[in-house]
Structure 1
Amino acid sequence: MSLHRRSVRVRAMSAVPAAMALVALSACSSGDSEARVDPPPAPPAKVAELCAALHGELPETVAGLARTRTEPESALTAAWGGSAIVLRCGIPKPPAMADPKQEGVHVNGVAWLLEKLDDGGFRFTTGMRLAYTEVVVDKEHATDAGMLVGLSTAVAGTVPEGISTY
């Protein structure tokens, strides 16, 4: 996997207007809907613990979308804006992770494998962490580069760097 050094950083001065816009947008977003998200197969206990810690630190809004309840409820899954942005933690190592031609990005200290999906959306998967976390973003929200900022902060704070053996 080739991880290009494209880093996303939020500057304090530009973050204030952006934060105000996110608050306004999230007030319009419905958090009452639910998203059908299949949890990954039962990961090892240590991975499940890391995912539970991550679940507790995930942001309430991502790309201006409010957090959505997942069905079934699980500490391994989360969603925003219905199923516009879906997270699954504790997934097995994706086969694409071994492909040196795959694209990747670094966001706030977290390496993400980047895969374009057939429907125009993207799948981002953390690399070099003790638990693999996958974020699938629909086509409409795939162009928001700041979408991974809050998620990366949560991952960096809860899932230590290392190589997952799962």
Structure 2
Amino acid sequence: MNIPRLRRRCLAGTSAVALLITAAACSATDDEASVVVPSPAAKAAGLCRDLHEQLPEEIDGLGRTDPGPKSELTAGWGDPAIILRCGVQRPPEMIDPSYARDNGVRVNGVAWLLQKRDDGSYTFTTGARLAYVEVTLPKERTGDGLGPLTDFAAPIKKTIPKGIA
């Protein structure tokens, strides 16, 4: 009757080791930014994959630090990260012409809707493109103004055609 008890201890020990390995593997990515990956329609997803291939390794002098989970629909730069998500839903505020007019900016030929968040960050969403691209600047990065958006203009113009998504 000692055999089953020994077997249980071995299995418990194996489970504990597996748990420790899993925890160690997870802790390596705990410092990494995490985002919700959009789920666009097939056409927009294809445009977003094209954009992903054109995104620069640096934005506003910050190196690429893609968030988890890894996806061709998301990208990040710096820490705290400037986050790009492609294929997001159209913000409801875009429907209101006065809101869009009062909160819209144009940077190097790309129109953006500006939304200030309660936490001090800003979210910019492209307008008049066949896929919506969202860029979030954490409050620590807002002192640079619209500088980061200039680095996104060329890849967006090259890969996301004008139109209404």
- Paired residues, what number? 131
Structure 2 distance, partners of 1:156, 1:122, is 22
Partner of 1:161: 162
Unmatched 5+ stretches in structure 2: 1-30
Partner of 1:141: 141
Is residue 119 of structure 2 the alignment partner of residue 119 of structure 1? Answer: yes
Structure 2 distance, partners of 1:53, 1:114, is 24
Partner of 1:50: 47
Task: Considering Cα pairs closer than 8 Å and 6+ residues apart, tell me whether 1 or 2 has the greater RCO.
Answer: 1
Q: Percent identity?
A: 53
Structure 1 distance, partners of 2:141, 2:69, is 24
Structure 2 distance, partners of 1:48, 1:83, is 26
Contact kept? 2:73, 2:86, Cα under 8 Å: yes
Contact kept? 1:65, 1:80, Cα under 8 Å: yes
Contact kept? 1:63, 1:141, Cα under 8 Å: no
Contact kept? 1:91, 1:134, Cα under 8 Å: yes
Q: With structure 1 as the length reference, what TM-score do the two structures score?
A: 0.75
Partner of 1:105: 105
Structure 1 distance, partners of 2:33, 2:132, is 21
Could you list the structure 1 runs, at least 4 aligned residues long, displaced by more than 6 angstroms after superposition.
none
Question: The residue matched to 1:133 in structure 2 has which SS?
Answer: strand
**Which structure features the higher share of strand residues?**
1
**Which structure features the higher share of helix residues?**
2
Q: Which structure has the greater CA radius of gyration?
A: 2
1:41-91 deviation digits (Å, cap 9, x = unpaired)? x21111000000001111111122111032111011001113421111001
Q: With structure 2 as the length reference, what TM-score do the two structures score?
A: 0.75
Partner of 1:61: 58
Unmatched 5+ stretches in structure 1: 1-32
